[in-house]
């Protein structure tokens, strides 16, 4: 089941990969439309350029049709149609001849990763530029180059997708992910694709206790825009949230905390990772770099953290053409799907529990305890006794699991048995 | 003195050892009667079979006169009169012939401890069975066996002993121990015998600040029964309690915490063990297994922990015939006596203290400080200065001792000197 | 600058060194007069002998003109005029002949430091005595010795210096140091000299946020006397204080905590030492030995700790003639000056900060952020983002610096830039 989902997720990544996306523009909307094929309920919203969003302003919409350099020998270099990373994001249109010396300030490459095309953007200052492998740049010779960029920056919209899945309660679990990167895979197609498949799975759950808010936005300006329109309801409803990013490769799991690492989201993430992948790498908010920067900012204060595979900034392929479809895998994606499923399961099951009798109940007469005493008690019985020993009405099931030192999902059947037998009750 | 007490305690263990005890029955009452020879004030209470006690019911009373197996050669095996561990506790009466194959499900032995008779009970489901060394069981041959158990299960009483020693204050120190085990020594004759000797010593203390509640009960059903009758007064009065068990051998000291390990009882136990036996083994409530299961259960919430020698479940002789009089010793028992004496001493002395003057007092004019300055100050003076430095009216003497890092009993004379000199006062 | 100050401080130590000081007397006042040459604002106060100060009484004033021993061969030994450590402080006058055996109880020497003259006092019990190198004592031969001490103990005054530098706010930073030691350098001329030079520097600061209370007193009886006269205003105003002592040598830095180590003074001291001298030696209040004994006593409860070089009691030269001008140095003194300057800088800058916009502000449009995205963000930008991420109006700049893990003085320019740009505001 998970493997099948991993394959489907990977295929969706592959389909989205070639599209040139940025924080605005047709590529972003085209990608949202593909996700809607998987998730028809996804609502698309448009916010016009120039809209004030807190300290920011929605920028002009950027669209690009073609871009390349013709070298002195007439060869076409940095062809946008071959790889959309060749163009600096938000490049203004140009069509001119210049010398190599004049061209150089507009070129970007990585001396330490000579085969990689870097990913560069300039959203808020008018620039143009090309990105190319350093080994290619070193071979450029003197002469006249022709540069051509057929782009436009014009009033338009910042677009994003939003899905609200109502549950029994007003309280929400929040997932945010961003779709504004051009042809890179782990960072960032893995996040939007995971969000899509988690939403499809959530729809199949019969009795969702919580509501779910899932948004697919451009990074930074998108989360700021979304917050500026929804802050009050988000602060009122969201009890735990996750920024989905870098969830596609097969390396170690990572955890990035919320501002103080003390929210329900952090507790659930740590519980899941500790019990499923104890070797996971913990990062603090000092290592942040995505939309938790906005969600956890002072006055916003949403409980948002991240469970990732290889964290942004921490793998060499990050923000280069090497972060391609070979860097991610079905197994990598399905591993991430599994841990987020577990996190959701923990959140849905996280209720305050209270025993109904004083002292230990007589489990034996209910067939829940061996009727003959021996030197050992089975683990199941031990868990049952431990749940009863700590369920004093002040602790949730997640806190009980943490106290006992077992995964919540392992003791859920026992908790349900005890509720059914009338020995435990859920406290509001 | 301690050694003499150790010998007396050991002799009492030896006298009680042969009696067949269970959670009810004549053996239990006979043992209580012997303890009353040492402690005439011990009150014996009887609770009739069928009495509802929280989620439980007081069971039928079990008495047994004889039990054995006759093998195909006419030899008597598993003779109850030779060792009362041979019979599964609460066995129903039988008198029948059966084949070895039919007998086997009623036999209990330990393949890993082939010379030991295991201790097995079946209080709440009607069963019969025999316990024997595995090496003996392996030699049983085919043929007809005759099994005979002359026991009865009939309405009667659950009996227990209770001693309330009144003190100056209503607040109580609580000791609970259990007497329901047949011929085993560390677990459990050491606890009732220690309780008896602590009570005898407490009676000799002139001005007991606290009252003392000491109960000698059957395990589990006894504590549940006692709590069901006394919960309100216990919750109101008990400031620290200890479950006395496994206090007879000479191996390492152990500590088992209360539910959260944060009660006055825990603090005192840790203070005593840290300063007297720093190599002691700490266990958490996850490792519990005796009546703290009831005393620390949610809603009961009594401050009860245990200081032990070799903890139940942690030594191979536990719950077998190997836990005999050779496993315990006078020195083992007197060591336990000594640490509980220290704990009581700490509790009795644990008062909030407050200095009476601002800044350091001039100790020199009172002859409490060297009148000539040198490079070193004696430890005694240092302790005195430290007590004064932290006695701010918010801390008890135990907390002062913990802050200073010295045993409370070591600084008590200094505290008393400072009180006598009017430099410290006790705060209510 | 620091080196120049180090030289000036050392020269002042050298000038004060030969004077015979005690807790009262002309030597103390003569030393204060020299400090007033550097700090004319220093007020000199006199408290008469016999004044009750909490549990103490101001003692008689001690003055001494001459003291020596004449040995059986007519040689002058222990000549006070050669080294004032030869005389036990507060020695009563004597003029008599006695045998070596009669003399011995009045002699003090250190067998383990045979070349050192120990520093001995007997303020509160009438005694006389001489201190000498143990190697000299061992050579004393039988015969008649003449001892002569021309001293007097008479009603007079306990004198001390006090300087209040008013600031914008009523709240005070407190510095206390003691000047009652005869010819020793690190303990204690370094403290009064550092206090003098810190005061001179504080006077040059344009807008002092806080007021400064600086006192130069005799140890113990001086702080008790000062507290008895000023406790209410000190408790009301002092937000952080430091006992200046042992700040002249070049060995490791040390830190001695306040009573519970949790005051603003402790936080600042630890912040400064951690970032400037991470190898510093931390000591707890259990290791105290100077006027923090009074300032941190129950009911006084002032926030006072110490940053030192080699702590008293911890270096072999302590309280002997070996703690001379060769034990301290200009570099040692200027190092201490520097860390206290940093501590004052941190205190003056320690204000609650709050961001003024929701979400991250757009730093780019203010020229505070690179307009082109790359894989790395400079440290300066990272600090700026971190300040904004944690400045939620509940934390001071010192707490922000601790959270971010950088020295406060390193991020002060950035904080000021953000305030100037209207992105941060100071919260009262």
Q: Architecture of A352-427 per CATH?
A: Orthogonal Bundle (1.10)
Contact of A259 with chain C, judged by CB distance below 8 Å, is answered with: yes
* pLDDT, tens only, A157-193: 999 999 999 999 999 999 999 999 999 999 999 999 9
* pLDDT, tens only, C325-356: 999 999 999 999 999 999 999 999 999 999 99
Percent of chain A with pLDDT over 70: 98
Please indicate whether, in this complex, the C-beta atoms of B405 and C286 are within 8 angstroms of each other: yes
Structural contact between residues C182 and C27, judged by C-beta atoms closer than 8 angstroms: yes
Contact of B83 with chain C, judged by CB distance below 8 Å, is answered with: no
Q: What's the pLDDT score for residue B44?
A: 98
Q: Which DSSP helix (H) or strand (E) runs through B176? A: strand B172-178
**Residue that wins the pLDDT comparison between C184 and C379:** C184
Please indicate whether, in this complex, the C-beta atoms of B227 and A359 are within 8 angstroms of each other: yes
CATH topology of domain B61-154: Glucose Oxidase; domain 1 (3.50.30)
Please indicate whether, in this complex, the C-beta atoms of B375 and C319 are within 8 angstroms of each other: yes
Percent of chain B with pLDDT over 90: 94
- Cα gap B270→B293, rounded to integer Å: 20
Structural contact between residues C120 and C89, judged by C-beta atoms closer than 8 angstroms: yes
DSSP A302: -
**CATH code, residues A2-59+157-349:** 3.40.630.10
pLDDT band, very low/low/confident/very high, at A3 (cuts 50, 70, 90): confident
Q: What's the pLDDT score for residue C124?
A: 92
* pLDDT, tens only, B128-159: 999 999 999 999 999 999 999 999 999 999 99
Q: What's the pLDDT score for residue A370?
A: 79
Contact of A400 with chain B, judged by CB distance below 8 Å, is answered with: no
Give domain limits for chain C.
2-59+157-349, 62-154, 352-427
* Strand partners of residue B118: B320
* Strand partners of residue B340: none
Nearest-by-CA chain C residue for B383: C286
A88 neighbourhood in chain C, CB within 8 Å: 372
* pLDDT, tens only, C198-233: 999 999 998 899 999 999 999 999 999 999 999 999
Nearest CA-CA distance, residue A364 and chain C, Å: 52
Q: What's the pLDDT score for residue C2?
A: 60
Nearest of A64, A35, A60, A37 to residue A50 by alpha carbon = A60
Nearest CA-CA distance, residue A125 and chain C, Å: 6
pLDDT at C376 over 80: no
pLDDT band, very low/low/confident/very high, at B378 (cuts 50, 70, 90): confident
Q: What's the pLDDT score for residue C1?
A: 57
Torsion of CA B61, B47, B319, B182, to 10 degrees: -60
Q: What's the pLDDT score for residue A428?
A: 83
- Cα gap B198→B339, rounded to integer Å: 11
State the sign of the Cα–Cα–Cα–Cα dihedral C365, C370, C376, C377: negative
Percent of chain C with pLDDT over 70: 98
Nearest-by-CA chain B residue for C128: B372
Average pLDDT over residues C97-119: 97
* pLDDT, tens only, B266-313: 999 999 999 999 999 999 999 999 999 999 999 999 999 999 999 999
Q: What class, spelled out in words, does domain A62-154 have in CATH?
A: alpha beta
Structural contact between residues B61 and B23, judged by C-beta atoms closer than 8 angstroms: no
* pLDDT, tens only, B220-248: 999 999 999 999 999 999 999 999 999 99
Angle between helices C330-349 and C264-276 (to 10 degrees): 130
Average pLDDT, chain C: 96
Nearest-by-CA chain B residue for A404: B286
Chain A contact probe: residue of C359, C367, C374, C376 with most A CBs at under 10 A: C359
Please indicate whether, in this complex, the C-beta atoms of B121 and A372 are within 8 angstroms of each other: yes
Average pLDDT over residues A87-103: 98
Nearest of B287, B283, B158, B319 to residue B223 by alpha carbon = B158
SS (H, E, C) chain C: CHHHHHHHHHHHHHHHCCCCCCCCCHHHHHHHHHHHHHCCCCEEEEEECCCEECCEECCCEEEEEEEEEECCCCCEECCCCCCHHHECECECCEEEEEEHHHHHHHEECCCCCCCCCECCECCCCCECCEECCHHHHCCCCCCEEEEEEEEEEECCEEEEEEEEECCCCCCEEEEEEECCCCCCCCCCCHHHHHHHHHHHHHHHCCCCCCEEEEEEECCCHHHHHHHHHHHHHHHHHEEEEEEECCCCCCCCCEEECCCCCCCHHHHHHHHHHHHHCCCCEEECHHHCCCCHHHHCCCCCCCCEEEEECCCCCCCCCCCECCCCCCCCCHHHHHHHHHHHHHHHHHHHHCCEEEECCCCCCCCHHHCCCCCCCCCCCCHHHHHHHHHHHHCEEEEEHHHHHHHHCCCHHHHHHHHHHHHHCCCEEEEC
Select from B360, B392, B393 the Cβ nearest to the Cβ of C294. Answer: B360
A373 neighbourhood in chain B, CB within 8 Å: 120-123
Domains A2-59+157-349 and A62-154 share a fold: no
- Cα gap C38→C13, rounded to integer Å: 12
pLDDT at B379 over 90: no
Average pLDDT over residues B7-18: 98
Average pLDDT over residues A363-373: 83
Nearest CA-CA distance, residue A262 and chain B, Å: 21
User: Could you say which residues from 292 to 311 on chain B have a Cβ atom under 8 Å away from some Cβ of chain A?
Assistant: 293-294, 296-301
Structural contact between residues A308 and A168, judged by C-beta atoms closer than 8 angstroms: no
pLDDT at C303 over 80: yes
Q: What's the pLDDT score for residue A198?
A: 98
Which of B151-160, B417-426, C235-244, C369-378 comes out lowest in average pLDDT?
A: C369-378
C391 neighbourhood in chain A, CB within 8 Å: 298
Nearest-by-CA chain C residue for B379: C286
Chain C contact probe: residue of B359, B394, B400 with most C CBs at under 10 A: B359
What CA–CA distances, in Å, run from B104 to A70, B93, B101, C111? 93, 17, 5, 82
pLDDT band, very low/low/confident/very high, at A374 (cuts 50, 70, 90): low
Nearest of C239, C347, C215, C344 to residue C291 by alpha carbon = C215
Nearest of B79, B59, B63, B76 to residue B25 by alpha carbon = B63
Q: What's the pLDDT score for residue A377?
A: 60
Contact of B364 with chain C, judged by CB distance below 8 Å, is answered with: yes
Q: What's the pLDDT score for residue A375?
A: 55
Order of strands, edge to edge, in the sheet holding C424-427? C392-396, C352-355, C424-427
H-only helix segments in B238-368: 264-276, 292-295, 330-349
pLDDT band, very low/low/confident/very high, at B373 (cuts 50, 70, 90): low
pLDDT at C375 over 60: no
pLDDT at B3 over 90: no
C404 neighbourhood in chain A, CB within 8 Å: 286
Q: What's the pLDDT score for residue B1?
A: 57
Nearest CA-CA distance, residue C383 and chain B, Å: 39
The values of phi and psi at residue C332, to 5°, are: -60, -45
Average pLDDT over residues C250-257: 96
* pLDDT, tens only, A127-153: 999 999 999 999 999 999 999 999 999
Q: What's the pLDDT score for residue B254?
A: 98
pLDDT at A1 over 60: no
Average pLDDT, chain A: 96
Q: What's the pLDDT score for residue C371?
A: 73
B284 neighbourhood in chain A, CB within 8 Å: none
Nearest CA-CA distance, residue C306 and chain B, Å: 17
pLDDT at C99 over 70: yes
Q: What's the pLDDT score for residue B285?
A: 97
Cβ–Cβ pairs < 8 A, chains B and C: 77
Average pLDDT over residues A334-345: 98
Structural contact between residues C129 and C48, judged by C-beta atoms closer than 8 angstroms: no
Q: What is the pTM of this model?
A: 0.93
- Cα gap C360→C388, rounded to integer Å: 7
Contact of A232 with chain B, judged by CB distance below 8 Å, is answered with: no
Please indicate whether, in this complex, the C-beta atoms of C359 and A300 are within 8 angstroms of each other: yes
* pLDDT, tens only, A186-224: 999 999 999 999 999 999 998 899 999 999 999 999 999
């Amino acid at each position: 089941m998970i493997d099948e989902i991993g394959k489907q997720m990977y295929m969706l990544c592959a389909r989205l990969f070639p599209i040139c996306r940025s924080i605005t523009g047709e590529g972003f909307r085209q990608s949202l439309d593909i996700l809607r094929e998987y998730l028809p309920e996804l609502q698309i919203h448009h916010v016009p350029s120039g809209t004030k969003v807190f300290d920011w302003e929605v920028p002009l919409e950027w669209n690009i049709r073609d871009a390349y350099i013709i070298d002195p020998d007439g060869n076409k270099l940095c062809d946008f149609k071959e790889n959309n990373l060749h163009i600096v994001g938000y490049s203004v249109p140009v069509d001119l001849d210049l010398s190599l010396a004049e061209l150089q300030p507009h070129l970007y490459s990585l001396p330490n990763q000579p085969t990689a095309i870097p990913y560069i953007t300039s959203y808020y200052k008018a620039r143009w530029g090309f990105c190319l492998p350093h080994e290619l740049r070193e071979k450029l010779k003197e002469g006249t180059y022709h540069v051509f960029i057929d782009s436009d920056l014009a009033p338009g919209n910042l677009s994003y997708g939003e899905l609200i899945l109502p549950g029994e309660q007003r309280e929400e679990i929040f997932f945010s992910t961003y779709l504004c990167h051009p042809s890179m895979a782990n960072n960032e197609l893995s996040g939007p694709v995971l969000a899509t498949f988690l939403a499809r799975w959530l729809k199949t759950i019969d009795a969702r206790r919580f509501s779910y808010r899932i948004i697919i936005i451009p990074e930074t300006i998108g989360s700021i825009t979304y917050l500026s329109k929804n802050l009050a309801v988000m602060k009122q409803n969201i009890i735990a949230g996750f920024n989905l990013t870098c969830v596609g490769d097969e390396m170690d799991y990572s955890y990035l905390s919320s501002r103080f690492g003390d929210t329900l989201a952090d507790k659930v993430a740590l519980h899941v990772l500790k019990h499923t992948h104890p070797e996971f790498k913990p990062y603090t908010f000092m290592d942040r770099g995505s939309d938790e920067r906005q969600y956890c900012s002072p006055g916003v204060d949403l409980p948002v953290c991240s469970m990732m595979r290889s964290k942004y900034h921490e793998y060499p392929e990050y923000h280069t053409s090497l972060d391609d479809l070979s860097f991610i895998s079905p197994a990598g994606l399905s591993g991430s799907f599994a841990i987020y499923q577990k996190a959701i399961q923990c959140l849905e099951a996280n209720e305050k529990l209270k025993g109904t009798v004083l002292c230990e109940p007589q489990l034996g007469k209910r067939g829940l305890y061996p009727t003959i005493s021996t030197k050992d008690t089975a683990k199941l019985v031990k868990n049952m006794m431990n749940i009863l020993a700590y369920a004093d009405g002040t602790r949730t099931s997640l806190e009980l699991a943490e106290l006992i030192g077992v995964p919540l999902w392992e003791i859920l059947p026992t908790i349900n048995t005890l509720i059914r037998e009338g020995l435990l009750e859920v406290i509001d």
